Amino acid sequence: MRPMFPGQTYTRVLVDLYVTSIVEVFEKEQRLSTQVKMITVWFDSNVLWNSYKFCQILTIAAPRNLFWRPDIVIAESVKTEIGTVESSYVQLVFFGYVVLPEVLSLNTVCKLNLYRFPFDTQSCNITIQSVAYSNVDLKLETLHDTGVLTNSSKQSFQSQGEWELLNISTSKSKVFLMFGYADQLIYQITIKRRPLLHVINIILPVFFFLVLDVTSYFIDTDGADKLSFKVTLLLAISVLLLILNDTLPSTTYELPLIGIYCSAIFSLIGISILETILVNFLRAKGAKILSASAAVTGQDDGVSGPPVDQDRDQKEFQIAMWWIKVARITDMMFLILYLLTIVVFLSVLGKVWYIH
Amino acid sequence: MRPMFPGQTYTRVLVDLYVTSIVEVFEKEQRLSTQVKMITVWFDSNVLWNSYKFCQILTIAAPRNLFWRPDIVIAESVKTEIGTVESSYVQLVFFGYVVLPEVLSLNTVCKLNLYRFPFDTQSCNITIQSVAYSNVDLKLETLHDTGVLTNSSKQSFQSQGEWELLNISTSKSKVFLMFGYADQLIYQITIKRRPLLHVINIILPVFFFLVLDVTSYFIDTDGADKLSFKVTLLLAISVLLLILNDTLPSTTYELPLIGIYCSAIFSLIGISILETILVNFLRAKGAKILSASAAVTGQDDGVSGPPVDQDRDQKEFQIAMWWIKVARITDMMFLILYLLTIVVFLSVLGKVWYIH
Amino acid sequence: MRPMFPGQTYTRVLVDLYVTSIVEVFEKEQRLSTQVKMITVWFDSNVLWNSYKFCQILTIAAPRNLFWRPDIVIAESVKTEIGTVESSYVQLVFFGYVVLPEVLSLNTVCKLNLYRFPFDTQSCNITIQSVAYSNVDLKLETLHDTGVLTNSSKQSFQSQGEWELLNISTSKSKVFLMFGYADQLIYQITIKRRPLLHVINIILPVFFFLVLDVTSYFIDTDGADKLSFKVTLLLAISVLLLILNDTLPSTTYELPLIGIYCSAIFSLIGISILETILVNFLRAKGAKILSASAAVTGQDDGVSGPPVDQDRDQKEFQIAMWWIKVARITDMMFLILYLLTIVVFLSVLGKVWYIH
Amino acid sequence: MRPMFPGQTYTRVLVDLYVTSIVEVFEKEQRLSTQVKMITVWFDSNVLWNSYKFCQILTIAAPRNLFWRPDIVIAESVKTEIGTVESSYVQLVFFGYVVLPEVLSLNTVCKLNLYRFPFDTQSCNITIQSVAYSNVDLKLETLHDTGVLTNSSKQSFQSQGEWELLNISTSKSKVFLMFGYADQLIYQITIKRRPLLHVINIILPVFFFLVLDVTSYFIDTDGADKLSFKVTLLLAISVLLLILNDTLPSTTYELPLIGIYCSAIFSLIGISILETILVNFLRAKGAKILSASAAVTGQDDGVSGPPVDQDRDQKEFQIAMWWIKVARITDMMFLILYLLTIVVFLSVLGKVWYIH
Amino acid sequence: MRPMFPGQTYTRVLVDLYVTSIVEVFEKEQRLSTQVKMITVWFDSNVLWNSYKFCQILTIAAPRNLFWRPDIVIAESVKTEIGTVESSYVQLVFFGYVVLPEVLSLNTVCKLNLYRFPFDTQSCNITIQSVAYSNVDLKLETLHDTGVLTNSSKQSFQSQGEWELLNISTSKSKVFLMFGYADQLIYQITIKRRPLLHVINIILPVFFFLVLDVTSYFIDTDGADKLSFKVTLLLAISVLLLILNDTLPSTTYELPLIGIYCSAIFSLIGISILETILVNFLRAKGAKILSASAAVTGQDDGVSGPPVDQDRDQKEFQIAMWWIKVARITDMMFLILYLLTIVVFLSVLGKVWYIH
């Protein structure tokens, strides 16, 4: 049944896996949808013939169901579909090899680490193994080496989508079946996200809102307009949170940096609104005392008040001025602190995010 | 047909179920999509051989359709798909065991209680049973115990998505078939949501809007700016309701706490707007009387009016002041009540939500 | 071929249908996705055995393809899928019954009346019939009565989603096949929506915006702030229309009440903005005349003008006052009418919506 | 193999197609998803029996695979699925007819003309033909006439969704196969959209915003509030564009009228904002000259200036007044033009849209 | 087995592929969903008959599984589905040809270049090849030439959707199989997007916001209203970014021009806000000095101050005027630069976008 090389008790199965397209990466479901081309080759001593004798025939196509076939499956697969209408033939090569080319639509589980989204690089495994044969019976090996695979995959890579194929590497492993081990061929596919549109849609606008918030310190009219300006910025970030919510799943132990970025800037603008309210409150307190004292002075206008009254006036004026001064200093101090926080926050974030 | 141990009238079927990935949890449809690995083992006296005699062969792969196979189904399943291309072999073990490993994509119904979303922990059952065999004929048992299952599942858990696998526990049960009972193996999968992104996208921004609303009491300019500030906050929460609507289904007897949270804060800010309008109304009433009396006084400026007039003036001034005082006291009282309400509401909610 | 009771020319087929889960209701597509458990029982005289003679064996599992099987289909079905991996066995009972239990994922067409959304109760039919057998040959009956079905369904109802299962009732009907009638078993499933989240996400916020609009009449500063306040309310309702658009299909002869509710309140706030603009216009006209006359008076200040001039002044003052009075009365009248409209509208709507 | 009437070389196949539900219309993909019931009847001389001799048996159900079956396909189909679990029987009628009833879930391509959306009526074809038999061998005919089909379809029409079934008409056609023609039966399904919710969600709000924009001309305070009022209207329309984008595909040679409607009103409001800015600019220019001259007059207040100065003053006053007058006339003219444009635009659009 | 022409060792397979509908283009997943009609014709010497002898029969329909069939697949396919219920017949033509017509729902990978979206033209390949036969055994050729294909496809093109079919061209190629080459027939389908709705939904509104931003320079009231006007424009663009995010994937090496367009205008408006804040700051500085000096002059009003004081007054007045002048010049310069930038940017973009 199971074909072997003469003098061997095991069957060598050679596998080649080319990634022809990254169809989609589902961040929310932690899945990867790929189109791969898998070529499985094994030795069958029944298909040996002398090509010199038989009109130089090197290969023959033969119906698939006449031959034994290894039960190769993909361990991470959630759904494996034949990409095209299934061919019902295998290719036989004169020196005893059976070649089975397949185009598969794979839907595999993959640990996606979105910590550095959208500047992330993901590594997904596609593990090929036999379900029922232990490695005593069936030995899995790669047909071509990694360099060839990566090159061929890159060449036939048919997508200009969000992901760039960086590398395909292979390694061998073993998995415990009931009574014995089975060979595993692990193809590690490394892909890199092209971040430009996410940068333009989220990171840049949010950053711009932060810059606008900082410059709003120089709005020198009364505080109310400043407030409505700032609260509109907050509203605009809320709108952009809708995009973030569409893009990102609630995942991973660590919060994605883009989440920290958005919510930190949201909080910063929020805090700066609180500060504006505080400064206005202080200023208003000063202004109130001032106007009250002015009113008193105004009332006493005709009659020259006693010097004691003038002293009190002076004192009140000083208190008012003190309030206004406190407001100004608070404002100044906050601005410096605010700028410092922003610089430190952004530089640390930038380092972790991009350079790392 | 149905294989038995010699001297037994029933067939023992041992099942192991490993959860290799939580693919997705559909809150709206109350469904759970998982990738599981199910290993079914049963005794078949026809596959006994002496491994010492037969070249130490411990296991053989044999075509699946040559053997009897228990009709194990998953009771909660809405859709069960073979995860990979289906293998056509079973593994035979020399002491008479037939091993059938399967990777399944399950889509099971699950009672999801979203009351404590996004800090929720869900328990979903995967019930394995025979459809046609009663427990007189077919006895279901677990192959490994719960500890091993949980460990293996956690080890092979291939997802870093929204859900963390806490535990897998098994229990046995019976279900009534027409004339007899069938064994059931219930695997209870306990998973915990990772709430961080939901916190950042909904809970935090909404809380921030509440804080801004409270501090808006200290905006000391005339009421109009305060109003536009507050109504913008309301608008921003409406935008965030879009996210909530995307995330949460209209489910469960009790409203999810996050719904209560959002709509309570929405209402609180709404009420505080009502209060602001009221206070402004009172203040404006006072101011109107004041300016009217001032106008009268101004008109009578040149001529010294009669004392009666001055008295009326005084009275009107007092009424105006009274209105303004009422406005100030209302404002103050409301602020205290408002803060109290918020503190009580948030602490009760926090307790129920997180600590519980 | 077709099994019959001895002495009968027809075959009795007994069917039980349990609704184990409402997976999803597609309002837009007017479809219902359910998981049901269907147990089909029929008599086959070939499977009779004496259980006392054969070791008390009451039931046997036998391969499905060895037996005749009624061609029961679900008439409303758009897609019927076997929920689990299909079992290949039927259960035989000693007194001649063949039992075929199936778990089905149904996707059935259902007339959903969304008039009272989200306080709606829907009734969907699942009609079971034979495709090729007329009722001369095949008689369809229920196995258990409605009470048992409803109870069992409720017990095994595995979903806490948007829908609550109220009732399952059965009725018999006939359908015309080419030359004769076929029996139909109609299961009517009555389900009730749990409206809470929709209330919180749409109805409550929109109502709140209406309340805010009404109270905005007491904003006593100049009209501009009032206008920006009100137009922001309109904007907020536009945002909530996004949610409505996601939730509701454009269906039914009558517009859903929630659509009437939202668009009526939208229109009401719109009309109140128009009124505010009108009142402001009248008031501004008055103020202009006043200021113009004041300016004239101011110019003539030094010289005491002739009495004729004072008369004209008086007249103009009266006209101005008249304009302002008209504005005030219009405002007052509108407020009363507005409140009346709202009360009448909401009470009528509430009656139709909830109490009906 | 192919059954024929005695004395005929062709087989008559009669087909009936009932549309039982419009499941969904995909505007973006130009597809139609329907549930249809197709009854195919053909003559098979092997199934003739004398019902008087055989106990009045009129019809028999027989396994499907024992009989020849025409290869009827639906030409527009992108996906054809059996709606229910496939029945494995056909119905045989005593005078030699074989009846094959099928419930199909069709997914057909359909040219949707969205020009008059949401007041559109669509006509979709379902073309039935044989793939391999030419009309020399197989003649396709309708079983019932169009009136019966339409009535039956309307009766069994199980959906109250967005679409109303108006009419089903049939026509015969031919299609060229390799060497000969094949018969085609074309069922043209005419459906009408129920537009109410789209009216409420898009058309009405956008119209309301236009009305508010027009009335904003009577806002008589300084221009800034008017501007913020108008720009908020623009923002609200942007929000409603989100709904439009969700609903409508970028299709057809001609732009859908609803797109013209929305973008025209968007542009109109935009232009009216430009006009407001212009008028304010003119008015501000006038006011500046006025205040400058007033300041000069104020400075020269104590000393009576020379008559030349008064003349210049007068002239400047006139220039200022002229600016203000220009502003007023521009405003008035624009309002008239604006109203005219709106009336003409809406009446033309309304005619094309609804009455046409 | 494999049929050949007498005297030939290879089999000629003729293929025709008509694109009957572009069902959907998935920009995010870089996939194309089409409905195609594929007619495969090959010679089989066993099906030769003399039509003159056999009653002029030109074609016969015969069961599909009785004949050899080439294993033609589509190389780019992610999913190939039979569009209709699969016919089980092939058509035999008297001079030895076997005709296999198929309607396929293809889901193919396609390199979509979205650089010029929505004015883009895409070229997608559909490559037809044999999986197991080398070109020694099986030669692939087109049945009709490209002109006929394009015309027929355009004629039967059943969609009025987003895409217009421009052209279908064919070319021949070879692909390396294990030991030999296989023929490939490459159908290149060129389709053009109909951009109107995208223009109306994104490009036009964003452009309008830019125009409004430019004209806001002529808002001559104090800066605050201008600011709130401009920040509302920014908010409106953020809302439109939601549409952009729904429409466009994060793809391609180069950023799509529409992304550059939106984010450039977003940035321009942002920068113009920064400039407004700066100008206001300068103006406010001048105004402050002015008012301070006025206050001093006011205080010293009764007593005539010393000439030195008047000089200082003069100087301060000049400094204040200088600040205001700087503000005015900055504003003017910026406006010119701003307009220049916009004109250059838009003309370059327009050239690259549309004319290119």
Maximal C-alpha separation, chain C: 134
State the pLDDT at residue A222. 58
What is residue A356's predicted lDDT score, i.e. its pLDDT? 60
Helices C204-215, C223-247: crossing angle, 10 deg rounding? 170
pLDDT at position A30: 85
CB contact under 8 A, E87 and D113: no
Q: In chain A, what percentage of residues exceed pLDDT 90?
A: 25
Instruction: List A258's β-bridge partners, or say none.
Output: none
B17 to chain A, closest Cα gap in Å: 14
The whole-number pLDDT of residue C236 equals: 92
Tell me what pLDDT residue A342 has.
95
State ipTM.
0.86
pLDDT at residue C53, rounded to an integer: 82
| Chain E residues touching residue D278 (CB < 8 angstroms) | 215, 218
Q: A95: distance to nearest CA of chain B, Å?
A: 26
Distance from CA of A212 to the nearest CA of E (A): 7
End-to-end CA distance of chain E: 54
The per-residue pLDDT for E14 is 92
Phi, psi of B179 (to 5 degrees): -125, 70
What integer pLDDT is reported at residue B300 of this predicted model?
45
Other Cβ atoms within 10 Å of E304 Cβ, number: 9
User: What tens digit of pLDDT does each residue of E236-263 get?
Assistant: 999 998 888 887 766 656 788 899 999 9
Write the residue in A90, A103, A197 that is nearest to E77 by C-beta: A103
**pLDDT (tens digit, 9 = 90+) per residue, D38-70?**
999 998 888 888 888 877 888 888 888 888 888
In the block, tokens 């069992």 appear at C152
The residue among C57, C191, C200, C230 with the most chain B CBs within 10 A of its CB, best to mutate, is C200
CB C30 within 8 A of CB D159: yes
Enumerate neighbours of B (3 or more CB pairs within 8 A).
Answer: A, C
Q: Do D236 and C234 touch (CB under 8 A)?
A: yes
- Closest-CA residue of C relative to D156 is C76
**Could you report the per-residue pLDDT of E308-320, keeping only the tens digit for each?**
567 777 888 888 8
As a whole number of angstroms, the distance between CA E356 and CA B190 comes to 58
- Nearest Cα to Cα of residue D231 among E135, E212, A125: E212
pLDDT score for D206: 94
Judge: B220–A284 Cβ closer than 8 Å, yes or no.
yes
For position E185, what pLDDT does the model report?
93
- Taking only the tens place, the pLDDT of each residue in D220-249 is 655 557 888 899 999 999 999 888 888 776
Task: Label each residue of chain D as H, E or C.
Answer: CCCCCCCCCCEEEEEEEEEEEEEEEECCCCEEEEEEEEEEEEEEEEEECCCCCCCCCCEEEEEHHHCCCCCEEECCEEEEEECCCCCCEEEEECEEEEEEEEEEEEEEECCCCCCCCCCCEEEEEEEEEECCCCCCCEEEEECCCHHHHHHHHHHHCCCCCCEEEEEEEEEEEEEEECCEEEEEEEEEEEEEECCHHHHHHHHHHHHHHHHHHHHHHHCCCCHHHHHHHHHHHHHHHHHHHHHHHHHCCCCCCCCCHHHHHHHHHHHHHHHHHHHHHHHHHHHHHHHHHHHHHHHHHHHCCCCCCCHHHHHHHHHHHHHHHHHHHHHHHHHHHHHHHHHHHHHHHHHHHHHHHHHC
User: Minimum mean pLDDT among A14-23, A138-147, B101-110, B244-253: which range?
Assistant: B244-253
B83-100 pLDDT, tens digit per residue, is: 777 778 888 888 888 998
The answer to whether A73 and B103 have CB atoms below 8 angstroms apart is yes
- For residue D68, which amino acid is it? W
At residue C301, the pLDDT reads 45
Distance in angstroms (rounded) separating the CA atoms of residues B314 and B296? 12
Grade residue E268 by pLDDT with cuts at 50, 70 and 90: very high
The answer to which of A9-23, C237-251, C290-304, E56-70 has the lowest mean pLDDT is C290-304
The pLDDT value recorded for residue C164 is 87
Work out whether strand D138-142 and strand D11-26 pair parallel, antiparallel, or are unpaired: parallel
Per-residue burial over E225-243, b = 16 or more CB atoms within 10 Å of its CB, e = otherwise = bbbbbbbbbbbbbbbbbbb
- CA dihedral (E194, E196, E202, E203) positive or negative: positive
Residue with the bigger pLDDT between B47 and D240: it is D240
The alpha carbon of E81 is separated from its chain's Cα centroid by a whole number of angstroms, namely 26
Q: How confident is the model at residue D297 (pLDDT cuts 50, 70, 90)?
A: low
Sequence-ordered alpha helix ranges (H) in B63-180: 146-156
Asked if B40 and B128 count as a contact pair (C-beta separation under 8 A), the reply is no
CA-wise closest residue to D101 among B323, C73, E161: C73
Give the pLDDT confidence score for residue A269 in this predicted structure: 94
Tokens of D247: 């609903």
Name the residue with higher pLDDT: D318 or B146: D318
Q: B243: distance to nearest CA of chain A, Å?
A: 6
Percent share of chain A, pLDDT over 70: 90
Chains that touch D (3 or more CB pairs under 8 A): C, E
Candidate from C71, C178, C223 with C-beta closest to D88: C71
Question: What's the pLDDT score for residue D224?
Answer: 57
**B126 contacts in chain C (CB < 8 Å):** none
Given the structure tokens 């444009």, which residue do they identify? D341
Is C219 in contact with B248 (Cβ distance < 8 A)?
Answer: no
Distance from CA of E201 to the nearest CA of D (A): 7
Mean pLDDT, residues D146-168 taken together: 80
First to last CA, chain D: 54
Q: What is the pLDDT of residues A85-120, one digit of tens each?
A: 777 888 888 888 899 888 899 999 888 888 888 888
| Pairwise CB contact (< 8 Å): E160 & D274 | no
Q: Is there a contact between E222 and A221 if contact means CB atoms under 8 Å apart?
A: yes
- The per-residue pLDDT for E271 is 93
Quick one: C104 exposed, middle or buried, by C-beta within 10 A (0-12, 13-18, 19+)? buried
The DSSP annotation for A219-263 comes to: --S-HHHHHHHHHHHHHHHHHHHHHHHHH--S-SSSPPHHHHHHH
Task: Give me the helix-helix angle, B257-299 and C204-215, nearest 10°.
Answer: 0
Are B250 and C193 in contact (CB < 8 Å)?
yes
Q: What is the rounded CA–CA span in Å between residue E316 and residue E326?
A: 15
Place of tokens 């149904």: C106
pLDDT at D333: 93
D88 contacts in C (CB within 8 Å)? 71
pLDDT at A48 (0 to 100): 85
pLDDT at residue A309 greater than cutoff 80: no
Q: Do A250 and B23 touch (CB under 8 A)?
A: no
Look at chain A and count its residues.
Answer: 356
Which amino acid, one-letter code, is at C344?
A: V
Residues C241/C263, Cβ–Cβ less than 8 Å: no
Tokens of residue C305, six digits: 């003008």
Give the mutation candidate from C26, C29, C276 for the D interface (greatest D CB count, under 10 A): C29
Residues E89, D133: C-beta atoms closer than 8 Å: yes
Give the sign of the dihedral formed by CA D70, CA D71, CA D74, CA D80. Answer: positive
**pLDDT at site A302:** 45
Mean pLDDT for each consecutive 10-residue tract of chain C (356 residues)? 76 89 85 90 85 82 87 88 81 88 89 87 92 87 82 75 87 82 92 87 92 88 73 91 80 79 94 90 82 58 52 81 88 94 94 78
- State mean pLDDT over D174-202: 87
CB pairs under 8 A between A and E: 204
- Across the range E88-109, mean pLDDT stands at 88
- Chain B: give the shortest CA distance to residue A51, in Å: 33
How far is D115 from chain E, CA to nearest CA, in Å? 11
Q: In the prediction, which pLDDT does E81 show?
A: 85
DSSP line for B47-93: EE--TTTTTT--EEEEEGGGS----EEETTEEEEEESSSPP-EEEEE
State whether E89 and D277 contact (CB < 8 Å): no
Computed from CA positions of residues C49, C53, C58, C59, in that sequence, does the dihedral angle turn out positive or negative?
negative
Cβ-Cβ contacts under 8 Å for C322 (sequence gap 6 or more) = C286
Predicted confidence (pLDDT) per residue in E185-234, tens digit: 999 999 998 888 888 888 999 999 999 999 988 886 555 578 888 899 99
Residue of D nearest to E104 (CA): D78
| Tokens matching residue A169 | 């590497």
pLDDT classification of D151: cutoffs 50, 70, 90: confident
Q: Give the separation between CA E61 and CA E99, rounded to whole angstroms.
A: 9
Say what the pLDDT of residue C184 is. Answer: 92
> Residue A86 carries which DSSP code?
P
Per-residue pLDDT, averaged over A222-230, amounts to: 75
Mean pLDDT of E115-136: 89
Q: In this structure, what are the phi and psi dihedrals at residue B120, rounded to the nearest 5 degrees?
A: -100, 155
Q: Judge contact between D276 and D230, C-beta under 8 A.
A: yes
Candidates E322, E327, E214; CA nearest to E273 is: E214
Give the integer Cα–Cα distance in Å for D79 and D99.
Answer: 24
Q: E249, A162: Cβ pair inside 8 Å?
A: yes
**Least confident span in A210-214, C154-158, C182-186, E17-21:** C154-158
Q: Which two tokens stand for residue B113?
A: 């209680």
D251–E212: do the CB atoms touch at under 8 Å? no
